[in-house]
Structure 1
Amino acid sequence: MKRKADAQLSAANGKSAIKKRAKTVLSEEDRKKSFRKGLFAEDVLSKYTQDYAKSEPYKHSVINALIDDALLRKVRDEIRENVSFTPKETDIYKIHQSGDLANLDGLDDAALEKLPSLLRLRDSLYSSSFRKYVSTITGSGELSGKKTDMAINVYTPGCQLLCHDDVIGSRRISYILYLTDPDIPWKAEWGGALRLFPTTSHKEENGETTKTPTPDVSKVIPPAWNQLSFFAVQPGESFHDVEEVFHAQSKEQLEKEGGRIRMAISGWFHIPQPGEEGYVKGAEEKLAANSSLMQLQGNPDSYDFPQQQIVTIEAPAEPAEEKGLEASDIDFLLKYLAPTYLTPDTLEQVSEHFAEESSVTLDSLLSKKFSEKVRAHVTAQEAAGLPEKSSDIEKTTSWKVARPPHKHRFLYQQPTTTSPDPSRELDPIQEILEVLLPSRQFHKWLSIATECEIENYDVLARRFRKGSDYILATSHDGNPRLEINLGLTPTSGWGADDEDEEDAEEEEAKDAKNAKNAKKDKAKGKDKKKAEPEPEPEEDDDVGGHEVWMAADDDAADAAIYKASTGEEDDNVLFAMPASWNKMSIVLRDSGVLRFVKYVSRNAKGDRWDVGGAFDVQDLEDDEEGEDDGEEAAKAILEESSEEEVFNGFPDSSDGESD
């Protein structure tokens, strides 16, 4: 979505060539008039201060009807008619965003004349009176009026912002001022709420305390017209997210509800800057150091779950004369894998493809009989549902909840570390996890398919609940390793290969219809441009759940950005795999490559299920091709691959029948 208008905030990032008039400076009294009557009364301020002190899970405040209603309506109209928005998507968020409102002063006079109310609002929020008001409520100390830091963020259905604590640089107070439709009150069931996470304190042996956010939120603040929510930015404490804005059941319902467009001005108050009252030289550096110390003190990684369960593979006493599968290996693997993938010819094709691309995707890997068993189990599990609270899930099911949520959240199972109980009955997911993947036969099959010598492994079953789960981008530091993922998601609509052709045909038909209508309108003299309301909700079929591998970019503002306003895939994206059924991807991942699983939208038809693992392999530099060739092979991870690419040069792997 890219709105066209005369006044675009992006233009303010450069210097205007047009001579500008001197800026009109509002008096402090005029700025106070921008707020609702009575806001600055002593008893009102005292009540907000007391409420802030008692609030949980950490101190925060909500002020309703903050701004003069007539002024804020003008602000909203100016934004709708004159401000452009850029869609942005990373591992942590999906939003539409304006330019930095601090750059409004860089616009030329013609543009500024279209945004007088927005300019007044910005200057009023950073006025001395209101900064003192916020400082009194929070007890934060002086706030900067020189450093303004705010932007307009629009969440349409499907947009969200995942768990984080806002700790960057000199930020002191975080705030959100909502500009939702004033005539169509926002409903809590539409989503889009600001949600606060409580933290758990862990006492270390050395006396230090480590805090981690819990996987469940404890405070939900739905959006409301002219509502301000704010809190002090605290490292390791102020964890929050923005709930997904949920899709409506129909297009007609969405239109009736005004599009469910969650518009807000979000920003931060910073510590005093040079020349301002309260400025302390070196305070920003000290704040950054304290933030890092707070986040690193103790042993926070020990409270990350799941913890690795790396199992070393013992080398055979005597090397096998032949590397191919023996009859006993095939007998075991036939219980799980389609016969096609056990033939020498097919394994040779897989190996050749993997050698060229450093990745391969294998469709219909599981045998028909076993895959039907898995599908029945997964379908029954989804129909049964799950408790809402993480603690209840862990008490009543075999699943655990991954945490902390500023890194990841999903359900998982790991192989048991105790001696196996022969009487224990395994479900199909556990059978893959505890029998197939840890087996010597599967390791041998994987080594043949990739021509890599496996040294150890760590396997995991995962379930990503729709409307809840994700993994934020993490880097791998160490030797190259094979990462396998067997998709076991039985539902459709995840952007898989079999839908691409249908989507392309629909898009082509839509484009043709739009072109035909535009031609008719022009012939009737209807070619004039009309200001639209705020960004219109798009038909969004992207429900997330795809796993992405990316090359890290140290120069990028956010190394995990993989979708931008151009709609084109970023060059850093090496491979993206949507949720799928009975499809295994095998990826050779080098050190420094980022990996994440995109948040699964509540609009998905089901949860995302998979079983996979990491298999460390012998260093590629030991290959006979030499060190340079090894590095080139590692750098070539999936560069020629895409989410549509599936190696389909195999014979039919469906046991003679279609799955």
Structure 2
Amino acid sequence: MTTEERATKRTKIDSVKSKFQEDLLESSNVERLSKAFKESKPYLHCKIDKLVTDDLLRKVRKEIFDNLHFTVKETDIYKVHQTGDLANLDGLPSHELAQLSSLFELRNAIYSEEFRNFISSVMGCGPLSGSKMDMSINNYKEGCHLLNHDDVIGSRRVSYILYLTDPDKAWNPKFGGALELYPVIEKGIPATEPTVVIPPQWNQFVMFTVQPGHSFHSVEEVVPEGEPRLSISGWFHRPQVGEPGYSEKKDAVDEAKSSLEQLQEESDSHAKFAEYSTTLDDDATEGLTESDLLALAEWMNPHYLDMTIMSQMSDRFLDESAVQCKEIINKDLFAKLQAATTEADKRDHFTTQTMATHGTGVGGQWTAHGPPHRCRYLTVDASKDNGDETSSLFLDLQKKFESESFRRWLAVVTQCIPNGYRGEARRFRPGHDYTLATTNTRGQGVLDVTLCIANTPDKISASHWESGEYGGYECYMAPHNEEEDAAVYRAADDDGALLTLAAGCNELSIVLRDEGVMRFIKYVSARAPGSRWDVSYEYDLPEEDEEDNDDEEEEEDKDNK
């Protein structure tokens, strides 16, 4: 290397260094950060309190608010206001790029060879690509969140986030928006609650190695209006073809399935169907016995025990594969349920529209159910003692959903005969709970039956649930397209949700879910009126007779001729 080349390289290095805090890239600081990184829990991560020069980052923040457009993006796992990929800045016309000159400067500094080498040295993660970059700007406003996942997609090696919150006002942890890191119970299974919580602060930089089955994290919902949690986030990738350090050999990240891909498969830990002790013949779809009516009248609205009403419901179900029953629980039992659930929500401060601490609501017979990269909610454990009134009421409802009388009522309404059942009572707490979209992989349809009792103290609360803005709704989505990337989350409206059911109070939904159809309960916002309480069961149906299918196809062929 000539003297002139060395001087040019030195100038370039000095130029990059000038963008970051003094001494950030020096060997003594690298050694200090590397030591802290190796000792970090629950998995390897690094937090740098001040990354960029204050003057540059303030200019970047101003350019973002003055010149960039944000699009609201929402799926079952997140809601966020986001810009496009900043890798595309190079293609902007010169006059537009001039409006984002500081942002362009920062992006180039973060993906410079010097900063990539700094990241590699601190984290010991090996070389990073200089050609493949992912960077976007995320603005978490009120209600925005990101649920538990591991970031395992493609060639990602390092995840990072740079916070651009208000530089003149410290972020209050009560606002939410914290990065939450989860330990694992075993590889691939995160604990229900996080053990490390990192609230955002101005110019703070957090990074971690993408580790299959370990790097589970989430972003807490932002609660207050007018306090945006602005950040720049993205990934460093493994070297690509032609770059130093590239290897054709696949590593653990290549071989691992992403959180989303795991959701496309039914969990092996999913409870098996409990079989009924008796066998019903086809006559069971025609009506109920006197003993059935007496048993059901103990808890059901008598309106839904009228054969004329049941026949109308059956016709609708056969046409639409779904039917809803409002005010399904009789007045006496519903009054008890409403009083108990309202009191529990007040006791746990779930009616204050603030972010409750993790673990709130756990106790007695109510236990946390996960793992959170699939779902999180409370469920009743009958083996535990000292349950409260909600526990006993919901355990009793479970028994009713498993009863022979309710089985026969379902047979009349749906003209399907359940062979078995599985399900539970659940409590979805504001600011905490949800289920992510999972797919029916049984090879046949299942009957989903859900009794929803959302905390609805007044008409305004009911309208909040109905709007969907506060979550808690149940969504059915079309089967995943085999040609689509299974590592990319889809919004419910990308291809149109098949069915969306707002969280109601004292409403029963019955849905025939075909093979491949996805289903989820949207994260319940901390701003919701209270918890979504429900009893949710799946009923196993007889396999379809191939001869019947052939007959149906023949009839369709005749009709088309």
Do both share a fold (TM > 0.5)? yes
CA distance in 2, matches of 1:500, 1:466: 12
Give the AA of the match of 2:292.
D
Matches within 5 A, 1:317-396: 323-385=286-348, 396=363
TM-score (norm 1): 0.75
Q: Which residue does 2:90 correspond to in 1?
A: 105
Q: 1:560 to 1:547 in 2, by over 3 A?
A: farther
Residue of structure 2 equivalent to 1:491: 456
Change in Cα spacing, 1:400 to 1:575, as seen in structure 2 (3 Å) is: same
Q: Which of 411, 414, 427 is 2:392 aligned to?
A: 427
Q: CA deviation at 1:623?
A: 8.8
SS at match of 2:335: helix
Indicate how the Cα distance of structure 1 residues 628 and 263 shifts in structure 2: closer, same or farther if over 3 A, else same.
Answer: farther
Superposed CA deviations along residues 11-39 of structure 1, whole A, max 9, x for unmatched, are xxxxxxxxxxxxxxx93331221111221
1:589 and 2:523 matched = no
SS in 2 for 1:573: coil
Contact 1:623 1:630 in 2 (8 A): no
What is aligned with 2:207? Answer: 230
Distance 1:199 1:480, change over 3 A: same
**Which amino acid letter does the alignment assign opposite residue 408 of structure 1?**
C
> Does structure 2 retain, via aligned residues, the 8 Å contact 1:411–1:463?
yes
TM-aligned CA distance change 1:149 to 1:599, over 3 Å:
same
CA distance in 2, matches of 1:60, 1:561: 28
Following superposition, the deviation at residue 388 of structure 1 comes to 5.5
Match of 1:607 in 2: 531
Q: CA deviation at 1:627?
A: 5.8
Letter in structure 1 aligned against 2:61:
R
Structure 2 length as normaliser, TM-score?
0.87
**1:473 lines up with 2:397 in the alignment:** no
Contact 1:621–1:627 (8 Å) recurs in 2: no
Amino acid at match of 2:515: S
Offset from partner CA, 1:118-152 (integer Å, 9 cap, x none): 11111101111111111111111111112111111
Distance 2:307 2:298 in 1: 18
Deviations along 1:570-595, whole A, 9 cap, x unmatched?
44301111221110000010000000
What are the superposed Cα offsets for residues 601-630 of structure 1, whole Å, 9 maximum, x if unpaired?
111121110002001222455696856569
Residue 499 to residue 377, structure 1, CA distance change in 2 (3 Å): closer
- Compute the displacement of 1:353 (Å): 0.8
CA distance in structure 1 between the aligned counterparts of 2:244 and 2:376, rounded to whole angstroms = 43
Root-mean-square deviation over aligned CA pairs:
3.2
User: What residue in structure 1 maps to residue 423 of structure 2?
Assistant: 459
Quick one: which of 176, 182, 190 aligns to 2:175? 190
- Seen in structure 2, the aligned counterparts of structure 1 residues 495 and 354 have a Cα distance that, compared at 3 Å, is farther
Say whether the 8 Å CA contact 1:550–1:560 is kept in structure 2: no
Q: Give ranges in structure 2 of 5+ residues lacking alignment.
A: 1-10, 350-355, 557-561
Q: Which structure 2 residues correspond to residues 214-293 of structure 1 after superposition, within 5 A? A: 214-247=191-224, 254=225, 259-280=226-247, 282-283=248-249, 285-292=250-257
Cα distance in structure 1, aligned partners of 2:506 and 2:457:
12
CA distance in 1, matches of 2:494, 2:258: 34
Distance 1:137 1:112 in 2: 32
**Superimposed CA distance per residue, residues 359-401 of structure 1 (whole angstroms, 9 cap, x where no aligned partner):** 00000111111111222222233234399665x966x411222
Which of 387, 392, 410 aligns to 2:377? It is 410
1:497 to 1:403, Cα distance in 2 relative to 1, 3 A: closer
Shift of 1:165: 0.8
The CA deviation string for residues 221-269 of structure 1, in whole angstroms up to 9 with x for no partner, is 111111110011100111111111012xxxxxx5xxxx21111110111
Residue from 551, 558, 561 that aligns with 2:490: 561
Question: Residue 395 of structure 2: SS of its match in structure 1?
Answer: helix
Instruction: Give the conservation status (yes or no) of the 8 Å contact 1:177–1:229.
Output: yes
SS in structure 1 at match of 2:498: strand
**In the comparison of the two structures, how many residue pairs are matched?**
531
User: Offset of 1:561 from its aligned partner?
Assistant: 3.0
Amino acid at match of 2:396: E
Distance 1:269 1:46 in 2: 21
AA partner of residue 273 (structure 1): Q
In the other structure, the counterpart of 2:469 is 542
Distance in 2 of aligned mates of 1:292 and 1:500: 34
Q: How does 1:84-233 map to 2 (within 5 A)?
A: 84-201=69-186, 210-233=187-210
Identity, % of aligned pairs?
Answer: 39
**CA 1:334–1:631 in 2, change beyond 3 Å: closer, same or farther?**
farther
Contact 2:150 2:214 in 1 (8 A): yes
Residues 31 and 120 of structure 1 are in contact (CA less than 8 Å); yes or no, is this contact kept in structure 2? no
CA contact (8 A) 1:496 1:578 kept: no
Give the secondary structure class of the aligned counterpart of 1:545. Answer: coil
Q: SS state of the match for residue 106, structure 2?
A: helix
Match of 2:479 among 552, 563, 566: 552
Q: Deviation per CA, 1:304-345, whole angstroms, max 9, x where unpaired?
A: 5xx414211244488758831122211111101111111110
Supply the distance in 1 between the matched residues of 2:547 and 2:333 (Cα, whole angstroms): 37
Distance 2:429 2:369 in 1: 12
Q: In 2, Cα distance between the equivalents of 1:278 and 1:77?
A: 37
Q: How far apart are the structure 2 equivalents of 1:331 and 1:34?
A: 77
Q: What CA distance in whole angstroms lies between the structure 2 residues aligned with 1:328 and 1:107?
A: 74
Supply the AA of the counterpart residue of 1:160: H
SS of 1:27's equivalent in the other structure is helix
Query: 1:397 is matched with which residue: 356, 364, 371?
Result: 364
Conserved? CA contact 1:414–1:433, under 8 Å: no
Contact 1:159–1:245, Cα closer than 8 Å, also in 2: yes
Corresponding letter in the other structure for 2:148: C
Q: In the aligned structure 1, how far is the partner of 2:378 from the partner of 2:35?
A: 39
3-state SS of 1:28 partner: helix
User: Structure 1 residues 604, 353: CA separation in 2 closer, same or farther (over 3 Å shift)?
Assistant: same
Q: Name the SS of the counterpart of 1:487 in structure 2.
A: strand
Q: CA deviation at 1:499?
A: 7.0
CA contact (8 A) 1:482 1:616 kept: yes
Corresponding letter in the other structure for 2:14: E
Shift in CA distance, 606/393, structure 1 to aligned 2, threshold 3 Å: closer
Structure 1 position 473, deviation (Å): 0.6
